[in-house]
Homo-oligomer: A and B are copies of this chain.
Amino acid sequence: MNFSSIEEADLEQSGFSYTLSLISGKYKMAILYCLMEYKVVRYNEIKRYLKTISHKTLSTVLKQLEADGLVHREEYPQIPPKVEYSLTERGKSLIPILDSMCLWGEKNR
């Protein structure tokens, strides 16, 4: 995006706002990092790693990440149920941006 697009187009249409909508929120990035680190993770494992997240929030956020194509959900039809989450290629391509944000934040805070 360059500035001319701010003048002419709606902000909602910029690439920045789109990217921001995918990663902003209290837990999204932590979940992405969790999946990056452990590759394939079950629902309750994620919940344990994040510690403070509620069922409702984790459930909601995972569905958003899945809908946004960043996370893959694999369900095994068995009892008790088993569901595994992992990053898609699209999700992995976002990691360098998350890293640069971490780095900037640690240097400049």
Contact = CB atoms under 8 A, between A and B. Distances in A.
A2 B109 CA distance: 17
Contacts of A43: none
Interface in A54-77: none
A61 to B, nearest CB: 13
Interface residues of A, number: 45
Contacts of A18: 105-106, 108-109
Given A16-B102, A97-B104, A11 B27 contact: yes
Interface of A: 1-3, 6-7, 10-11, 14-20, 23-24, 26-27, 29-30, 33-34, 36-38, 49-50, 52, 90, 93-94, 96-109
